[in-house]
């Protein structure tokens, strides 16, 4: 280790790493440059106190690996600020931990990439066989630094920066190019890590700062004083009295916009809730105008452990979103249309809608610069109850992934159960109506439908003929007729009597008796009556008909033996009548009733699911 003295105040400092070329004095904030063992004092660094648990001198873990922070550089751009922490791992290797709005990546310098002279959103870069796409471009200014750093970072110096993500992966590239020396470009390779996998203890425990008090502000338009919620970073604050949007810039407060109208929200800035096991506070609210009179409300939530989350609401449906690096190529996003499929992280998503929106309202405190009129494009994908969204502005492409939140449970979490308003329709990420249990019930129901359909099919047919004969018109005109004898077999259960006529615009009433025995021993063992009628004609250029020339009766079979059929007939015609008696007929009505009953459950579930999906997709189909 090497000890140096600050050229400005004389304070002593110990260098923890031989690669250190810049150090910021802890006492006077002067930037010290080490050039050929000669110390040179630069300008004072104006970087503020850390806004998170990360801090110079702290030791913590990232994805279970131990890091010790020895330096910090802060950059600002037109939309906010971010910090880059210079750290050593347990093996003495150097890393950069990039922290931006409570999202993190861990990176190291790399020399394997040739940096193109010009890059825009979607520009493809190849590194070690992996394809990266640029998803953010901009210009940043070095605010300053602290601790020990590997090279000179000049406060006030501007850099062009380009962030890229490997397609379908969490691997990232960060490219910084000095505007003073454009030929000097530095490339850093690493991977994005989840907020919950970054653990450096509790924020504020190293200093006496109050990290939960928020920021006290006096509006430059109306003079009213107010205080922001307690998140770590505030770039945009909206006056609670006059609605003026204020930018918290290094130069002070700047009025950047005005809300044209007030909006109603069920949850206010400062309301707190526990969602998915994490504590959150509403720190900002936005309204996006999607055109055609459609608006989406959005809440910015802040959680001390989870960081920022976005609670999106449309017509009473809510989705809790978080940022993610994993996504398809920009070309696929740009060509996605409703109902098309895309693979994101091994999961197949369905494009729900795409469009463009403008910011119509904002209040609270945001970690980025936001004003009414800001425009962005979006593409939403769904795999209910999950949702994946890509938002693109002129200089940035952001990805978010989230999950549907039950609206009634959400109101209860915010302590607003008495104000609960049910959703107006099915939301994009509302869970499918056919849950796994309902799917099982539906398929079991369809199985019973199939079994009963087979049973119904098995009842079709006329059975075995015991008698088949025809009556002449003279027989019918006589009014009475008795058939020849026929034998009913033992064990028969159901019999059928079918009468077919040649009626033409007429009717015939028949009384049927089933007879056994002869002479004085003759006995009626069964009786049925029926009327057959058939009419047809031609009227108004169209033909018509009604009635039927046939009639069939099923009845319980008598004991085996010899029987005859007796007919008594009366009508306005004397047609040819064919009589047939059968046995072995099957009753269709009972299996048919079971078939209809078995259709109730699967039919209801299918109908509800169809209606559910029609409500989900209805508006987009119209578009």
In whole angstroms, give the CA distance from residue 31 to residue 74.
13
Q: 3-class secondary structure for 503-531?
A: CCCEEEEEEEEEEECCHHHCEEEEEEEEE
In whole angstroms, give the CA distance from residue 559 to residue 87.
100
Q: What is the DSSP letter of 396?
A: B
Distances (CA, A) of 439 to 90, 143, 306, 401, 599: 52, 58, 35, 26, 15
Distances (CA, A) of 463 to 343, 514, 559, 567, 586: 59, 18, 17, 22, 8
Helix (H) or strand (E) holding 605: helix 600-622
Please, are residues 4 and 34 in contact by the beta-carbon 8 Å criterion?
yes
In whole angstroms, give the CA distance from residue 188 to residue 36.
26
CA Rg value for the chain: 41
Cα 121 vs. chain centroid, distance in angstroms? 26
Helix (H) or strand (E) holding 318: strand 317-323
Q: Would the CA dihedral through 8, 10, 11, 15 be positive or negative?
A: positive
DSSP H helices, 460-588, are 473-478
Convert the pLDDT of each residue in 187-224 to its tens digit: 999 999 988 899 998 765 443 333 344 667 878 777 77
List where CATH 2.60.120.380 sits in the chain: 464-585
What secondary structure does DSSP assign to 75-106, as a single string?
EEETTEEEEEEEEEETTS-EEEEEEETTEEEE
Quick check: pTM over 0.75?
A: no
Q: Would the CA dihedral through 499, 503, 505, 510 be positive or negative?
A: negative
Looking at residue 214, its pLDDT comes to 64
Q: Thinking of the domain 464-585, which architecture would CATH place it in?
A: Sandwich (2.60)
In whole angstroms, give the CA distance from residue 327 to residue 334.
13
In whole angstroms, give the CA distance from residue 436 to residue 444.
12
Please, are residues 20 and 150 in contact by the beta-carbon 8 Å criterion?
yes
Neighbours of 220 (CB within 10 A): 13
Residue 475: what are its φ and ψ, rounded to 5°? -60, -40
What dihedral angle (degrees, nearest 10) is formed by the CA atoms of 335, 340, 341, 342?
Answer: 20
In whole angstroms, give the CA distance from residue 459 to residue 467.
21
Looking at residue 42, its pLDDT comes to 47
Looking at residue 136, its pLDDT comes to 94
In whole angstroms, give the CA distance from residue 162 to residue 140.
10
In whole angstroms, give the CA distance from residue 69 to residue 390.
33
Determine whether 377 is exposed, middle or buried from the number of CB atoms within 10 Å of its CB (0-12, 13-18, 19+).
middle
**161: its two tokens:** 């920066």
For residue 359, is it left (φ>0), alpha (ψ between -120 and 50) or beta? Answer: beta
Q: Identify the CA nearest to 285 among candidates 226, 227, 365.
A: 365
Looking at residue 622, its pLDDT comes to 43
Q: Identify the CA nearest to 161 among candidates 58, 75, 237.
A: 75
Half-sphere exposure (CA, 13 Å, Cβ side) for 113? Answer: 24
Looking at residue 203, its pLDDT comes to 60
Q: What angle do CA 282, 287, 288 make, to 5 degrees?
A: 135
Residue 271, C-beta contacts closer than 8 angstroms, at least 6 positions apart: 281, 282, 414, 415
Looking at residue 146, its pLDDT comes to 82
Residue 378, C-beta contacts closer than 8 angstroms, at least 6 positions apart: 354, 355, 356, 357, 389, 390, 391, 392
Q: What angle do CA 304, 307, 309 make, to 5 degrees?
A: 125
Determine whether 118 is exposed, middle or buried from the number of CB atoms within 10 Å of its CB (0-12, 13-18, 19+).
exposed
Residues (pLDDT < 70) of the chain are 1-51, 203-215, 229-233, 250-251, 458-459, 461-462, 587, 619-623
At what angle are helices 436-458 and 600-622 packed, to 10 degrees? 120
Please, are residues 421 and 316 in contact by the beta-carbon 8 Å criterion?
yes
Please, are residues 381 and 401 in contact by the beta-carbon 8 Å criterion?
no
């Amino acid at each position: 280790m090497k000890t140096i003295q600050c050229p400005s105040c004389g304070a002593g400092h110990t260098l923890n790493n031989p690669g250190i070329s810049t150090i910021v004095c802890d006492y006077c904030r002067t930037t010290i440059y080490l050039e050929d063992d000669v110390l040179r004092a630069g300008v004072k660094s104006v970087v503020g106190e850390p806004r998170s648990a990360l801090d110079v001198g702290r030791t913590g873990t990232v994805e279970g690996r131990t890091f010790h922070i020895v330096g910090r550089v802060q950059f600002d751009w037109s939309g906010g600020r971010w910090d880059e922490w210079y750290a050593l791992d347990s093996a003495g290797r150097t890393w950069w931990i990039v922290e931006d709005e409570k999202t993190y990546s861990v990176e190291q310098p790399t020399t394997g990439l040739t940096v193109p002279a010009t890059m825009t959103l979607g520009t493809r870069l190849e590194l070690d066989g992996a394809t990266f796409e640029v998803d953010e471009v901009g210009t940043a200014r070095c605010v300053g630094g602290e601790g020990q750093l590997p090279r000179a970072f000049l406060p006030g110096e501007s850099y062009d920066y380009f962030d890229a993500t490997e397609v379908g992966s969490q691997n990232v590239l960060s490219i910084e190019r000095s505007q003073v020396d454009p030929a000097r470009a530095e490339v850093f390779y690493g991977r994005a890590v989840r907020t919950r996998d970054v653990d450096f203890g509790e924020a504020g425990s190293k200093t006496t700062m109050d990290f939960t008090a928020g920021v006290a502000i006096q509006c430059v338009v109306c003079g009213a004083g107010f205080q922001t919620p307690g998140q770590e970073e505030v770039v945009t604050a909206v006056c609670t009295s006059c609605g003026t949007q204020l930018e918290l810039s290094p130069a002070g407060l700047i009025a950047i916009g005005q809300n044209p109208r007030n909006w109603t929200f069920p949850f206010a800035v400062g309301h707190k809730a526990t969602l998915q096991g994490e504590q959150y506070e509403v720190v900002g609210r936005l309204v996006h105008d999607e055109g055609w009179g459609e608006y989406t409300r959005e809440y910015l939530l802040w959680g001390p452990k989870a960081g920022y989350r976005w609670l999106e609401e449309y017509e009473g449906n809510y989705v809790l979103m978080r940022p993610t690096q994993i996504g398809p190529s920009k070309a696929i996003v740009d060509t996605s249309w409703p109902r098309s499929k895309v693979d994101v992280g091994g999961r197949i998503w369905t494009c729900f809608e795409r469009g463009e929106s403008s910011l119509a309202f904002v209040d609270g405190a945001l970690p980025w610069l936001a004003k009414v009129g800001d425009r962005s494009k979006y593409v939403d994908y769904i795999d209910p109850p999950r949702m994946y969204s890509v938002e693109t502005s002129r200089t940035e492409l952001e990805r978010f992934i989230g999950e549907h939140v039950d609206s009634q449970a959400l109101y209860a979490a915010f302590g607003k159960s008495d104000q609960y308003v049910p959703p107006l329709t099915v939301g994009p990420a509302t869970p499918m109506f056919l849950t796994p249990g309902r799917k099982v019930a539906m398929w079991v129901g369809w199985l019973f439908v199939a079994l009963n359909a087979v049973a119904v099919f098995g009842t079709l047919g006329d059975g075995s003929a015991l008698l088949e004969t025809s009556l002449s018109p003279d027989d019918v005109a006589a009014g009475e007729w008795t058939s020849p004898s026929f034998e009913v077999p033992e064990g028969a259960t159901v019999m059928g009597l079918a009468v077919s006529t040649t009626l033409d615009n007429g009717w015939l009433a028949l009384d049927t008796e089933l007879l056994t025995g002869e002479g004085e021993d003759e006995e009626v063992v069964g009786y049925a009556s029926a009327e057959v009628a058939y009419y047809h004609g031609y009227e108004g250029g169209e033909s018509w008909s009604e009635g039927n020339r046939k009639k069939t009766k099923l009845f319980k079979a008598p004991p085996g033996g010899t029987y005859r059929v007796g007919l008594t007939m009366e009508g306005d015609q004397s047609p040819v009548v064919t009589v047939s008696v059968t046995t072995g007929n099957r009753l269709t009505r009972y299996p048919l009733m079971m078939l209809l009953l078995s259709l109730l459950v699967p039919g209801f579930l299918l109908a509800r699911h169809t209606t559910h999906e029609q409500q989900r997709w209805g508006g987009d189909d119209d578009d």
